[in-house]
Amino acid sequence: MAVKIITDSLSDITGDLVGELGINVVPLYVRFGEEVYRDRIEMTTDEFYRRLVQDAALPSTTQPTPHDFLEIYQKLAKETDEILVITLSSKLSGTYQSALQAKNLLEGKCRVEIVDSQTVAMGLGLIVVSTVKAARAGAGLDKLVDFVQRAMARSHLICYFDTLKYLAKGGRIGKAQGFVGSVLSFKPILTIKDGVMSPITRVRSKAAGIDYLSNSAANFPNVEALAVEHCTTPDDAEALVERFSSFFPRERIYRSTISPVVGTYAGPGALAVSVLEAEKA
């Protein structure tokens, strides 16, 4: 029986890709005032960003409940006796904790292993994609846990935020705190390090930001997988794909949108590039 793989909606794995990979994606929750939506299921990404900009109150986000995970564990336990859960960074959300609590509630002989990916967005998504391949090649649960841990070191996420407004208001910004409160306006370039948002540098315009993202991706010598994501500006993301196609097969570049949960902090206009380096032989 093959290992079944679960991730959360912050992996930004959506639509057809979910089916192709044969994985389960557990949604987080987005809340506007009293209204609660399941990420990407009950509220589309476009609708979310429209409201993010228009609504006076900022939305908040919540992890899936242990029960959400338990339901999926129970469903999958009928088909397999090995489940691997790969969650977004436990320092950004309690999703990992919920997955863990659900594991303790699960009865029966199905084994569940949960890995905190220490990253988010397609930084997490590419780890999941790569792990699915390893699972299809026949790796068992223990081997896969080991595989994910090694893949984490190969995964790099680089983000461009078009505004600092949401970063400042949203909290949970880790080391990026130092970027808030500048007299001069600039656009931050951020990454995720040790599971929290971390500053890389600053640029003064979107064009300079796109240059930065494309140069950093091009600097990796050996790329296994590449992903480009946007919040509200697909044209900018396409411009990046265009540039990347000079060194990486265009059809293999994953395109996705940044989850509303991350978008709460990133704000409209953000872009993200994820690079999964190839394993050293």
Partner 1 sequence: MKQVNTIGGQDLREMFAAAAGWLEKSSSEIDALNVFPVPDGDTGTNMLLTMRSTIEEAYRAPDNSAAAVAQAMAKGALMGARGNSGVILSQILRGLAQSLAEKETFTAVELASALQQSAAMAYNGLSNPVEGTMLTVIKDVAAAAQAQVAGDGDDLIPVMEAVVDAASESVANTPNLLRVLREAGVVDAGGQGLYTILEGALRYLRGEMEQMRFRKPQIIVGDIHATKLPEMIAADEIPYGYCTEFLLKGEKIDTGKIKKKLEKKGESLIVVGDEAAVRIHIHTLDPGEVLAYTADLGTMHQVSIRNMDEQHQDYLEMQREKAPAVDTGIIVVVAGDGLTEVFTSLGASAVVPGGQTMNPSTKDLLQAVERVASDKIIMLPNNKNIVAAANQVQSLTEKTIEVVPTKTIPQGVAALLAFDYEANLETNTQLMQKAAAAVRSIEITRAVRATRLGGLEIKKKQPIGFLEGDLVAVGNSTTDVLDQVLARLDLEKAEVITVYCGADAETDEAEQVSGSIREKYPQLQIEVIQGGQPHYDYIVSVE
- How much of the chain is in helix, strand and coil states, percent to nearest 5? 40, 25, 30
Q: What angle (nearest 5°) sits at the alpha carbon of residue 259, between those of residues 255 and 264?
A: 135
CB of 63 to partner 1, least distance (A): 6
Encoded amino acid at 211, one letter: D
Place of tokens 């990992």: 96
Minimum distance between the CB of residue 183 and partner 1, rounded to whole angstroms?
5
**Minimum CB distance to partner 1, residue 185 (Å):** 6
The three-state secondary structure class of 165 is helix
CA dihedral sign of residues 100, 95, 90, 216: positive
> The tokens 């476009």 sit on which residue?
46
Question: 176 vs 270, which CB is nearer to partner 1?
Answer: 176
Nearer to partner 1, 13 or 270 (CB): 270
Do the beta carbons of residue 87 and residue 99 sit within 8 Å? yes
Report CA-CA distances (Å) from 4 to 14, 63, 112, 138, 146.
17, 21, 10, 12, 16
Of 129 and 269, nearer to partner 1 (C-beta) is 269
* Cα 269 to Cα 96: distance, rounded to the nearest angstrom: 28
Minimum CB separation of residue 188 from partner 1 in Å reads 10
CB of 75 to partner 1, least distance (A): 23
Site residues (vs partner 1, CB under 8 A):
60, 62-63, 65, 94, 168-169, 171, 175-186, 191, 193, 198-205, 207-208
> Residue 252 is inside which H or E element, if any?
none
Q: Which is nearer to partner 1, 74 or 216 (CB)?
A: 216
Least distance from C-beta 46 to partner 1, angstroms?
26
We find the least distance from the C-beta atom of residue 93 to partner 1, in angstroms, to be 10
Nearest to 105 by CA among 145, 71, 78: 71
CA distance 213 to 190: 10
Taking the complex as a whole, the smallest distance from the CB of residue 2 to partner 1 amounts, in Å, to: 32
Q: Which is nearer to partner 1, 197 or 226 (CB)?
A: 197
Concatenating the DSSP letter of every residue in 86-99 gives EES-TTT-SHHHHH
Tell me whether residue 143 or residue 206 sits nearer to partner 1 (CB atom).
206
DSSP 8-state class, residue 9: G
Q: In the complex with partner 1, which residue's Cβ is closer, 139 or 210?
A: 210
Name residue 8's amino acid.
D
**Closest CB to partner 1 among 43 and 158?**
158
DSSP letter, residue 225 = E
